[in-house]
Amino acid sequence: DTGVSQDPRHKITKRGQNVTFRCDPISEHNRLYWYRQTLGQGPEFLTYFQNEAQLEKSRLLSDRFSAERPKGSFSTLEIQRTEQGDSAMYLCASSLDGRGTNEKLFFGSGTQLSVL
Amino acid sequence: AQKITQTQPGMFVQEKEAVTLDCTYDTSDQSYGLFWYKQPSSGEMIFLIYQGSYDEQNATEGRYSLNFQKARKSANLVISASQLGDSAMYFCAMREGRYGGATNKLIFGTGTLLAVQP
């Protein structure tokens, strides 16, 4: 297993279009997270899955955002009716269950979204 | 509300010298975890070190050590013998929430940009 994979690496879209990103976590990890990072800032939490259950969503995640993790494997993040303010790096991360160093997040390389 | 504060937007250090990156946190939880991540210009987030709130000893991982002062709510990262490849953004993060609770997310600080000079 080579780590967390995200696709695409870059996405350019026009305002108002819908976009979908995919994340493939490390296979034995049952926790999956989506974060958003803008230039010069730390990652901001968007949502978290434990297996297929979406256990938490940030207030940052407006109703235009939806995430799924069918069968507890890969996850998709969809943004509908994109706005210029959605331009950011979208990071996916996964981790094992448990505490201590087990809970460290392994991040993918991210999807850089640019909304024109 | 839980919060991570990194007050140093940027720092310079000479190669082979040690450097300390500051991090303070705010939480009302008794059980929490503290993390440091490195983000080079290529963009990937790399885990460096972890400290649990109940760990009595400061965590160490190779050239990285975490100076954990619980009463002061600080978790500073110390990098010894800096190398040119250490130039990157460094983020402090905290896992909030209790085990078995609904949240296991990490919250991140705004980061410190470290530049190692030859």
Residues of A in contact with B37 (CB under 8 A): 107
Structure tokens at B7: 């007050």
Chain-chain contact of B105 with A41 (C-beta, under 8 angstroms): no
How do strand B88-95 and strand B74-79 relate by DSSP bridges? unpaired
**Which pLDDT value is given to residue B104?**
73
Q: Distance between CA atoms of A102 and A50, rounded to whole angstroms?
A: 14
pLDDT, tens only, A71-96: 889 999 999 999 999 999 999 999 98
List CB contacts (< 8 A) between B102 and chain A: 55-56
- Higher-pLDDT residue of A1 and A7 is A7
Chains A–B, number of C-beta pairs less than 8 Å apart: 60
* Angstroms from B50 CA to nearest CA on chain A: 6
pLDDT > 90? residue B42: no
> What are B60's two structure tokens?
């160490």
pLDDT band at B101 (very low <50, low <70, confident <90, very high): low
Contact flag B50-A100 (C-beta cutoff 8 Å): yes
pLDDT at A97: 81
| B23: confidence class by pLDDT, cuts 50, 70, 90 | very high
Q: Does A101 touch chain B (CB under 8 A)?
A: yes
**Residue A116: band (very low, low, confident or very high) from pLDDT cuts 50, 70, 90:** very high
CB atoms within 10 A of CB A90: 23
The pLDDT assigned to B102 comes to 47
DSSP state of A98: S
Measured distance CA(A54)–CA(B12) in Å, rounded: 41
* pLDDT value, residue A35: 96
- Point out the residue among B50, B95, B108 whose CB comes nearest to the CB of A43: B108
* CB-based contact, A70 to chain B, within 8 Å: no
pLDDT tens track for A28-64: 899 999 999 999 899 999 999 999 999 888 887 889 9
Q: Please report residues of A whose CB lies closer than 8 A to that of B95.
A: 103
Residues of B engaging A, defined by a Cβ cutoff of 8 Å: 4, 33, 35, 37, 43-45, 47, 50, 52, 91, 93, 95, 99, 102-111
